[in-house]
Chain A
Amino acid sequence: DGGITQSPKYLFRKEGQNVTLSCEQNLNHDAMYWYRQDPGQGLRLIYYSQIVNDFQKGDIAEGYSVSREKKESFPLTVTSAQKNPTAFYLCASRGTGDREQYFGPGTRLTVT
């Protein structure tokens, strides 16, 4: 089955630690996106990548980093510089010429 997988579903970390969230897709999509969801704020774009080895900052990139070494994978690192990292993180992908994004199941990160 084609789709987007994010793992793990729940992640707990201590403050001051970097943590990497996984996002994998087997849809052969070129573009991939990371969003953060907070209550009452909808989804906000963190980073996006239109093609392998290239990525751009979204609206709230501070404290995050990404890489895009493979077409299938777009991991997101939440660094210790992110002031409020506890949130629900969603990954999405989009095929070239497609106007719709497809979302993964999300990872809920809790930092204490």
Chain B
Amino acid sequence: DAKTTQPTSMDCAEGRAANLPCNHSTISGNEYVYWYRQIHSQGPQYIIHGLKNNETNEMASLIITEDRKSSTLILPHATLRDTAVYYCIVRVYGTASKLTFGTGTRLQVTL
């Protein structure tokens, strides 16, 4: 499995874009990048996933570099409710039973 590296913590001002990086330099060609977040004491919440093209949904955008060795999750206008731990996960599609969560990035959104 490709391993991921994320910063332990980040800060972002409310209303600004939050850019959360993830390094996955050993990613294989058939592995997707997934992002989840966990708001204090709640269960994780799916955000977005992608293979090689940039993806956008109502929650966030995912930018994957052309060599696929790193990606960035973008929350375009962070709010206090986006304060959470964000997990970057790399997996072959269709193997949810092998999904593993690391320790993620703790994003603190401040006024």
A binds B: no
Binding site for A on B (CB under 8 A): none
